[in-house]
Amino acid sequence: MRKTLPLSVAFVFYSFVAFAQNTRQRDIDAFIAQTGAVATTDKATNSLNFLGFQSGRH
């Protein structure tokens, strides 16, 4: 019974972290669509690895 409260708090914390990753990816995708940037993601962690912009030089 004493472990119920800490486990509940840990579960709520980790669920917020899990949902934050999805929101972050949507924000990155929206930024890429607005700016025309090129992004690469790490396949193992699914995190942003590199964000590049075109220089505008021809």
Tell me, what's the pLDDT at 58?
A: 57
Tell me, what's the pLDDT at 12?
A: 78
Tell me, what's the pLDDT at 18?
A: 65
Q: What is the DSSP letter of 42?
A: -
Would you list the DSSP string of 19-34?
A: HHHHHHHHHHHHHHHH
Tell me, what's the pLDDT at 53?
A: 86
Cut 0.85: pTM above it = no
Q: Which element (helix H / strand E) includes 4?
A: helix 4-35
Burial (0-12, 13-18, 19+ Cβ within 10 Å), 41: middle
Q: What is the pLDDT of residues 13-56, one digit of tens each?
A: 777 666 656 667 788 888 889 988 888 888 887 778 888 888 77
Tell me, what's the pLDDT at 20?
A: 57
Tokens of 3: 């472990």
